[in-house]
Amino acid sequence: MKQIIRIVCLLAIFNSQFSILNSQTCYWVMLTDKAGTTFDPYSYFDAKAIERYRINEADLYDISNYPLNESYVQQVNALATEGVGESRWFNAAAVMATPEQIAAISNLPFVREVVAIEGDMQQTSCGPAETFSLDDLSSKNLHDQLVRMGGKYFRDKGINGKGIRIAVFDGGFPQVNTHVAFKHLRDEGRIIKTWNFPNKKENVYGWNSHGLMTLSCIAARMGDMDLGMATGAEFLLARTEIEAEPFKEEVWWQMAVEWADKNGANIISSSLGYGKDRYYTKDMNGQSYVAKAGNMAARKGMLVCNSAGNEGDDKSWYTIITPSDADSVLCVGGIMPSLTDYQRTSFSSYGPSADGRQKPNVCAFAYAWAANTGSSNGEYLMVPGTSFSCPLVAGFAACAMQSRKGIKTMELFHEIEKSGDLYPYCDYTYGYGVPQADYFTGDRKEVKPTFKFEEVKGTGAVRIIPLIENRKGRMFIKNSLANGAIVDYRQFDFADFNPGSYIEIAAGTVLTVNFNGYTESYHFAKPTNSNKEMDMTIYGDDGNQYMLFGGEDNTHFSTRLKESKGKWEPYLMLGLAVKTANNEQGIQIWSPAKHLGIRYTHYFAKAYGWGIAVDYDHTGFRFDKDNANHLDSLIAMDDNIRWLDKEVSKHRVNIGQLGLELYQRVRLVPGGIFHKGWHWDLGVYGTWGFNVYKLKGSHKNDIAGTRKEVVRQLDALDGYTWNWGVTTRISRDWLGIYARYRLNGIGKEVPADKVLLPRLEVGLQLAL
C-alpha cells in the first residue's frame, strides 16, 4: 500500500508541476500610448536607413519609430515571469507569464490588449544534404541555380548587389567568420553588424548551420564561381531561432525586423516561418503578427523575401506559411534544379493564402549548392528546401535593386513578379515563375506566339493548338473566375504527344495559357463562374483521344483550407509487468505485455487535445517457480494426467483483454520527422476480457506419450473480468514510453486462495 501511495503522489506532483510549466506562454502586451517619449531619427537610424526612408517617402518621425514608455515596460515585466522583448512598431512588450500573471497585467491602466503568441518558428530546409568536395564540383555546372534566373545578364554588366544591404535571419551562422566561401565579405568588411537575439550578444558564428547555407545562396563564392548573385552586397546577420523555444521566436523575428530597419537593410531574407505546428490553414491570411511586421517593413522601404514552406507533401496543409502570407512579403516557392524541365519540388508549399490572394509570388531552385560547415576550405553541399529558393531570389532582388537605383520597394516587388518567366500567367504552384535578369538589364527579347485558341462552333468549347514544330516544353493552363480567383490549373509536357495533337476544353470562365514563354487569355462566351475543374481532352492528329501525362491535380482549393482537427494513429505497445508490492506473488521480471490498437485525437488547439483509443491486450504473466502460490493447487488434477514440464507449465498465465482508453494530450515541443513532435498523454483505461491458464500433459498409460492440453478458467485471479486504472505516455513522433497502473481492488484484502497480479506495466510505444 505504501508503494501505491508513493506512485500516486509522484504522479500528482508531476502533474501539478507540469501544469505550472505548461500554463506559461508568451504574450504580446499591447500598450495604450508612448506618453513622455522622445525620438531623434538621425541619431537612431543608420545613414542607409535614412536614405531608404527618403527614397520610399516613408515618415522618419512616424510614431511607430518612437521608443516604448520605459516605466510601462518595467511595470509589465515586474508582474511577469520573464520579459522577452519589445516592439516599437506595435508599441508592445513581450513576456512569458501564467494566466494569473496576465490577469494582473491586463488590469494595468496603460495596457490596451494582451495577445497570446501562437507561433513556433521552423526552418524551411527539407531532407538530407549531399556532400561534394571542391574538386568534385569543378566538373559540375555550379551556375545552374543562377543561370536559371539569367544571372549572366547581371554578371556581364558588373551587377552584383554592390551598395545593397541585406539582413539574413536564421538559426546561426557557424564558420561564416572562417569559411573560404565568405572570405571576400570578411576582407572587404561587408558583414556590417550581427546580433544574437536569443543570447543577447553580437556573436552569431555558431549554432545551426542553416544560416551558413542560406547566406551561401546569396553571396558565397568558390574561386571565381558564384553560388549567389549578390556577392558584392553588405550584410546584417541576425540569429532569431533556436530548437527548444516554442514561443519566443516570433518575438525575436519581430525584433530582428526592427533591428534591420534601424541598421539600414534594404532587403530581408528569411528562410523561416510559422505553419502547421501552431496555426491552422485558415490563419494564413496575413493577420499574424509576423505577417503584419512584414507589411510594416515594406511600408518602411524594406523588401522581405520569405520561403513558401515545405508542406507541399502534407495533404492536410494546402497553403503557404506565415509571414509569406503577408500581402507585401515576396513569397518564394521551389522548383526542381533543372534548366530543361519545369517542375515543382514535391515539398514546396502551395498557395493561395487563406483569404485567396496569389501566393507564391515567384519561385527558384529548391535544391541549391551551399557551403558546408564540415569544411572551411572547399567542401560544398547540395541542400534541399524552399529555405534556399528564398535567398537565391533575395540575391537576385539585390542585383535588381542595384540596376534600378532609386526604385521604391513595392515597385521593385512588382517588377520582380513581372520578370518571372511565366508572367503574366501565374498559379498557386509557381507564382509568376522564376525571376529573370534580362528583364532588368534590357536584354529581354520579344516572344512570338507559340499557340492559338480556336473556338469549336456550336459547343462553347475552345481548342489550344500549338504553332511551333518543336513542342518541347511545359504548357501551363489555368481557369480563373472573373475576379481572378483560380479555379483549376494544370501543367504537362506537349512533347509527350504526337506533332498534330491539341487540347480541347469544354467550359470555363477565363482561360490563361503559357507555352514556351508566350501567354494569352481566352474569355468564354458563356462563362461557368463555378468552382468546377476543367474538362480537358487531348486529341492527336489522327483524331484519337489521349490521356494527359505529366499534369498535376490542383483543383478545388477552397476545400483544402478546411483543416481537420482530428488525427488517427495506429499503435503497438510492448511492455513488461513490474512487481511493486510484496503481495504481488512471485512474478518474474520477464512477463511480456502487448497492445495493438488505434487512437483518435481531437485537437482543441495545436498544443492540446482529447482522445479515445481501442485496443487488444495480451499479457503473459510468468510466476516464480520457487515461490508457492494458489496456482499450485491447480496442478493436483486427475491422476490419469502425468504433467510434463511441470515446473514451467504451471507458472504461465495468459490474459487476453479488449481495452478502451480516454486521454488528454499536450504537445510539449512541435516538429519532428512526422511533425508530431513531443507529446505527453495522461488518461484512464478500462479493459474487459478473460484469463486463461493452460496446462499440457499426457495420460500415464499412453505408451506413445501423447500430449494433452488442459485449459482452466481461473477464478483464482483477482479482477480478471474487468480492470481499470490510469495511463501516461511520453512520445516523440513514432517512438514513446508508457506506463499503466491498475487501480481496481486497491485497499481490499486479497483472499488466501487468490493471486494478486502486478498493477504496474511499463514499456515502449510504436505509433504511425
Tell me the pLDDT tens digit for each residue of 199-221.
Answer: 999 999 999 889 999 999 999 98
The pLDDT value recorded for residue 674 is 55
Tell me the C-alpha distance between 31 and 196, whole Å.
26
pLDDT average, residue stretch 638-643: 46
- The 10s digit of each residue's pLDDT in 554-570 is 544 444 555 667 788 99
Q: What is the band of 380 on the pLDDT scale with cuts at 50, 70, 90?
A: confident
Which H or E run includes 608?
strand 608-622
Average pLDDT, the chain: 82
Closest CA to 275 of 694, 716, 709, 670: 670
Asked if 586 and 602 count as a contact pair (C-beta separation under 8 A), the reply is no
- The 10s digit of each residue's pLDDT in 367-376 is 998 888 776 6
Tell me the C-alpha distance between 415 and 205, whole Å.
35
Write the single-letter amino acid at 589: I
Q: Residue with C-alpha cell 515567384? A: 362
The pLDDT value recorded for residue 124 is 52
Conformational region of residue 216, where left means phi above 0, alpha means psi within -120 to 50, and beta covers everything else: alpha
Of the listed ranges 405-409, 527-531, 746-750, 761-765, the least confidently predicted one is: 746-750
Residue 553 pLDDT more than 50?
A: no
Residue 520 pLDDT more than 60?
A: yes
Q: Max Cα separation, the chain?
A: 110
Asked if 279 and 356 count as a contact pair (C-beta separation under 8 A), the reply is no
Which H or E run includes 653?
strand 652-669
Tell me the C-alpha distance between 564 and 95, whole Å.
31
Tell me the C-alpha distance between 609 and 591, whole Å.
33
The pLDDT value recorded for residue 711 is 54
Tell me the C-alpha distance between 432 and 423, whole Å.
5
Residue 714 pLDDT more than 80?
A: no
> Which residues, listed in sequence order, are joined to residue 363 by a DSSP beta bridge?
333
Residues in Cβ contact with 409 at an 8 Å cutoff, skipping those fewer than 6 apart = 56, 266, 298, 301, 302, 303
Asked if 511 and 487 count as a contact pair (C-beta separation under 8 A), the reply is no
Copy the grid coordinates of residue 756.
494478486
Closest CA to 301 of 639, 574, 53: 53
Tell me the C-alpha distance between 632 and 518, whole Å.
89
- The 10s digit of each residue's pLDDT in 568-600 is 899 999 998 887 776 565 566 678 889 999 999
The pLDDT value recorded for residue 339 is 85
Q: Between residues 417 and 720, which one has the greater pLDDT?
A: 417
The pLDDT value recorded for residue 376 is 64
**HSE (side-chain half, CA atoms, 13 Å) at 639:** 0
The pLDDT value recorded for residue 13 is 37
Helix then strand then coil, % of the chain, to nearest 5: 20, 35, 45
Copy the grid coordinates of residue 481.
473566375
The pLDDT value recorded for residue 705 is 52
Strands (E), 54-110: 82-87, 92-97
Tell me the C-alpha distance between 501 and 538, whole Å.
7
Residue 176 pLDDT more than 90?
A: yes
For residue 123, what is the DSSP state? E
The pLDDT value recorded for residue 454 is 92
Q: What is the band of 136 on the pLDDT scale with cuts at 50, 70, 90?
A: very low
Residue 720 pLDDT more than 70?
A: no
- The 10s digit of each residue's pLDDT in 295-307 is 999 999 999 999 9
**HSE (side-chain half, CA atoms, 13 Å) at 557:** 27
SS (H, E, C) 130-197: EEEEHHHHCCCCCCHHHHCCCHHHHHHCCCCCCCCEEEEEECECCCCCCCHHHHHHHHCCCEEEEEEC
Asked if 579 and 759 count as a contact pair (C-beta separation under 8 A), the reply is no
Residue 90 pLDDT more than 90?
A: yes
Q: What is the band of 543 on the pLDDT scale with cuts at 50, 70, 90?
A: low
Closest CA to 27 of 72, 69, 77, 89: 77
Q: Is 415 helix (H, G, I), strand (E, B) or coil?
A: helix
Q: What percent of the chain lies above the pLDDT cut of 70?
A: 77
Q: What is the band of 696 on the pLDDT scale with cuts at 50, 70, 90?
A: very low
Q: What is the band of 698 on the pLDDT scale with cuts at 50, 70, 90?
A: very low
Asked if 650 and 695 count as a contact pair (C-beta separation under 8 A), the reply is yes
The pLDDT value recorded for residue 245 is 56
Asked if 221 and 137 count as a contact pair (C-beta separation under 8 A), the reply is no
Residue 21 pLDDT more than 90?
A: no
- The 10s digit of each residue's pLDDT in 137-154 is 333 434 689 999 999 999
Cα 284 from chain centroid? 13
The pLDDT value recorded for residue 483 is 84
Of the listed ranges 163-167, 404-408, 427-431, 603-607, the least confidently predicted one is: 603-607
Residue 277 pLDDT more than 80?
A: no
Provide φ and ψ at 682, rounded to 5°.
-140, 125
Q: What is the band of 68 on the pLDDT scale with cuts at 50, 70, 90?
A: very high
How many C-beta atoms surround the C-beta of residue 73 within 10 A? 18
Of the listed ranges 465-474, 510-519, 625-634, 746-755, the least confidently predicted one is: 625-634
The pLDDT value recorded for residue 567 is 84
Residue 629 pLDDT more than 50?
A: yes
Q: Residue with C-alpha cell 515541443? A: 669
Residues in Cβ contact with 704 at an 8 Å cutoff, skipping those fewer than 6 apart = none
Q: What is the band of 732 on the pLDDT scale with cuts at 50, 70, 90?
A: confident
The pLDDT value recorded for residue 118 is 63
Closest CA to 373 of 361, 383, 388, 386: 383
Copy the grid coordinates of residue 280.
491552422
The pLDDT value recorded for residue 573 is 94
The pLDDT value recorded for residue 300 is 97
The pLDDT value recorded for residue 182 is 94
pLDDT average, residue stretch 402-415: 96
Cα 586 from chain centroid? 50
Residue 623 pLDDT more than 80?
A: no
The pLDDT value recorded for residue 692 is 53
Tell me the C-alpha distance between 111 and 33, whole Å.
9
For residue 496, what is the DSSP state? G
Which residue intervals of 242-381 are DSSP H helices? 249-262, 289-299
Sign of the Cα torsion 524, 529, 530, 533 reads positive
The pLDDT value recorded for residue 700 is 45
Tell me the C-alpha distance between 638 and 184, whole Å.
93
Tell me the C-alpha distance between 163 and 234, whole Å.
7
Residues in Cβ contact with 316 at an 8 Å cutoff, skipping those fewer than 6 apart = 276, 563, 564
The pLDDT value recorded for residue 295 is 96
Tell me the C-alpha distance between 237 and 271, whole Å.
13
